[in-house]
Structure 1
């Protein structure tokens, strides 16, 4: 049996950001508008760094820690942020296209006008995250932790949520059409006003023990 570590935005978090490698720390740097395409960083820690309007294509960040980093208006395509930790970061008008975030964890971060298109976000930790009006389109989010996440008015379309942890999540008014809802327990989430297809309705009805003919 796999035991998941406790990882909730709403839990107390140490004031100190984890530093995988003390010799690989980038602190208080201004990367405004920089092109990070093709760069590779492994076990780096980015502290209070400004990535506003930065762009990256094919960049790789593995086992990195981002604390207090501003990703505002940045654009990332085909980049990999695997097994990373994002703490107290801001994502305003941030877009990720066909990016890989497998195993990454977000804590106490702010998401406004947040948009993800395609890519693999499996095993990502977004517990308690405020993702209201965010967009996830065609994203692979298998076994993602969305416990108690706020997704009101969000667009989560064509997304693979198989095995996802959705207990306590708020999906009121969300567009969920085309997404895999097989892991959704309608008794433990808020679904009022959400938009789903007839096929998805049948899946939910079946989870409630109803016979669909």
Structure 2
């Protein structure tokens, strides 16, 4: 096990490195590459990753607390049972990433690319997903209570059985997604009806 504290790395290539079971505290990584790196069971606390590439990286069982991954690429990364607690993930790309069993404890996931993501039965309560791309995502039976989905792209998303009560859904096109069996509050129900041209008094 290794530990890095208050270190800064710029454009360093960690691709294919064995970096398992490490501890990173308040470290900064700018435009670094972690392509296909082994990062299983690492922990980050208060770290910042800017424009870093984690494509194909193994992040299984990693734990991240109050860290920021801004405009990072996680294409085809394995995040099985990873945990993100109060993290800032804005602008990051998760296309074809494995998100099975991931824990999302609050945090800001605005502007992220989660197209086609498998998020069924996930606890996404209070998550900020403003303008996130969730096109075709599987959100069946997901708990989205009090999440911020302002202007999120939810076309062809599966929301059957999802709990949307208290979620902010301003600017969302209800006609483009399947909400059969979803739990809505009165405000969402009214917005849903109006999206189909109903007059609600």
Structure-1-length-normalised TM-score? 0.83
| 2:80 equivalent in structure 1 | 92
The unaligned stretches of length 5 or more in structure 2 are 1-9
Matched residue, 1:127? 115
1:199 pairs, out of 182, 187, 190, with 187
After superposition, the CA RMSD in angstroms is 1.7
Matched-pair contact (CA < 8 Å) for 1:114–1:135:
no
Aligned residues: 192
Question: In the alignment, which residue of structure 2 is the partner of 1:166?
Answer: 154
Tell me what 1:13 maps to: none
CA distance in 2, matches of 1:32, 1:196: 42
What is the match of residue 114 of structure 1? Answer: 102
Deviation of the 1:181 alpha carbon: 2.0
Q: Return the offset for 1:23.
A: 5.7
Pairing of 1:13-52 with structure 2 (within 5 A)? 24-52=12-40
What SS is found at the alignment partner of 1:111?
coil
Alignment TM-score, normalising by the size of structure 2: 0.88
Asked if structure 2 preserves the Cα contact closer than 8 Å seen for 1:112 and 1:134, the reply is no
What SS class does the counterpart of residue 176 from structure 2 fall into? Answer: coil
Per the alignment, do residues 188 and 171 of structure 1 end up closer, same or farther by CA in structure 2, a change over 3 Å counting?
A: same
Q: 2:67 pairs with 79, 87, 104, which one?
A: 79
Unpaired runs of at least 5, structure 1: 1-21
| Alpha-carbon displacement from aligned partner over 1:68-104 (angstroms, at most 9, x marks no partner) | 1122121111100001111111111121111111111
SS in 1 for 2:144: strand
Residues 1:208 and 2:196 are matched in the alignment: yes
Residue of structure 1 in register with 2:4 after alignment: none
1:131-184 superposed Cα distances (whole Å, 9 cap, x missing partner): 222221212211111111111122222111111111111111212221112333
